[in-house]
């Protein structure tokens, strides 16, 4: 339980940091931000063949960036309540 609480605190700190930054200059040492075109290219436009799984907030897709790095991308569902 302590590990989860530590992770939750770090996640909340990250959210606060990101929300306070100006759009277009967002960065965090553990989170990468990409424009939509990069994500679409990496996931082959969210191809069903790249679906890894689904959670409460949306579907997770595997992707490959132009530099060869593999990534997981969560596409939030419209009903997730997240923006």
46-75 pLDDT, tens digit each: 999 999 999 888 999 999 999 998 989 989
End-to-end CA distance of the chain, in Å?
A: 28
Query: Is 64 annotated in some ligand binding site?
Result: no
Give the DSSP H or E segment for 8: helix 2-19
Sequence-ordered list of residues with C-beta below 8 angstroms from that of 43, at least 6 positions apart, any chain:
50, 61, 62, 63, 73
Q: Which CATH architecture has domain 25-78?
A: 2-Layer Sandwich (3.30)
pTM above 0.85, yes or no: no
- Phi and psi (nearest 5°) for 69? -70, 130
5-62 pLDDT, tens digit each: 555 555 555 544 444 444 445 566 667 778 899 999 999 999 999 999 998 889 999 9
Burial of 45 (0-12, 13-18, 19+ CB in 10 A): exposed
């Amino acid at each position: 339980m302590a590990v989860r609480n530590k992770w939750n605190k770090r996640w909340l700190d990250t959210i606060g940091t990101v929300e306070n930054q100006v759009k277009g200059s967002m960065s965090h040492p553990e989170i990468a931000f990409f424009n939509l075109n990069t994500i679409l290219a990496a996931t082959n436009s969210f191809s069903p063949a790249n679906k890894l799984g689904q959670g409460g907030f949306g579907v997770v897709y595997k992707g490959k960036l132009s530099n060869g790095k593999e990534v997981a991308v969560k596409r939030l569902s419209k009903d997730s309540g997240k923006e």
